[in-house]
Amino acid sequence: MNMGIVVEGDSDAKAYSQLIRKIRDDVDVPHVISCGGVGTLKGKFVGWLKYFEWRALPSIDKALVIRDSDCSNPVPLENELREILKQSDFEPRFPVHFHATKCELETWLLADENAINQASRWRRKNKGIAAITVDLESTKGAKELFRKQLSKAGLLATAQVYREVANFADIARIASRCPHFRQFMDKVREC
């Protein structure tokens, strides 16, 4: 199955592609669109869905539009995206799912410190970090905290490092520490 995703930024694009493949091994993500911020995502995702419908090769079987909630209630943010699509009068032939991450993507990447440690070893930095003991899905500033953890592990916060951490991540550990991640998993698994 081919899935197209529309996300806020380049780091999101790299990490979400890996997480989605971990959740469903029958999914290929040939089209990953990075919008450069939530404002641009809201303004352009319908156009990208039209691209998926009419021009994308290979064709898309399902689309997922993902944004951060920044620790707000994600439901109204997802509903806002649904309403933008509805008002556009565009009805894609494939299902479209919307997800607002609680709080930021980095929340999930922080949930498995072993993934950061493996990325550090893989890059021959060999610096380890300990688990963070805060409630990740209610802590604001996950992006900054993630960058600090990467720095302790000798890593830079590049899109490629995000991809590597997501690749090494244990999705069961993320789901146990971040209940909202289970909702994301459900959306990825829906056909």
Residue 169 pLDDT grade (very low, low, confident, very high; cuts 50, 70, 90) = very high
Q: What is the DSSP string of 110-128?
A: HT-HHHHHHHHHHTT----
pLDDT digits (tens, 9 = 90+) for 80-129: 999 999 999 999 999 999 999 988 999 999 999 999 999 999 999 988 89
Q: Which amino acid is at 43?
A: G
CB atoms within 10 A of CB 68: 24
Residues 95 and 10 occupy one common structural domain = yes
Domain count within the chain: 2
- Residues contacting 122, CB < 8 A, separation 6+: 164, 168
- Average pLDDT of 15-35? 95
Print the domain residue range for 140. 106-176
Q: What percent of the chain has pLDDT over 70?
A: 99
Tokens representing 126 are 């060999």
| pTM, rounded to two decimals | 0.94
Residues 34 and 47 occupy one common structural domain = yes
Residues 98 and 111 occupy one common structural domain = no
For the cut 90, the answer to whether the pLDDT of residue 190 exceeds it is no
CB atoms within 10 A of CB 158: 13
pLDDT digits (tens, 9 = 90+) for 138-164: 888 999 999 999 999 999 999 999 999
Residues 115 and 93 occupy one common structural domain = no
Residues 28 and 54 occupy one common structural domain = yes
For the cut 80, the answer to whether the pLDDT of residue 191 exceeds it is no
CA distance 172 to 176: 6
The CATH number assigned to the domain holding 184 equals: 3.40.50
Tokens representing 77 are 């943010």
Residues 8 and 93 occupy one common structural domain = yes
CB-side exposure of 83: number of CA atoms within 13 Å? 6
Residues 44 and 54 occupy one common structural domain = yes
For the cut 70, the answer to whether the pLDDT of residue 37 exceeds it is yes
Residues 22 and 84 occupy one common structural domain = yes
Quick one: pLDDT at residue 139?
A: 85
Q: Which of 81, 86, 83, 94 is nearest to 54 (CA)?
A: 94
The phi and psi torsions of 32 (rounded to 5 degrees) equal -125, 115
CB atoms within 10 A of CB 23: 17
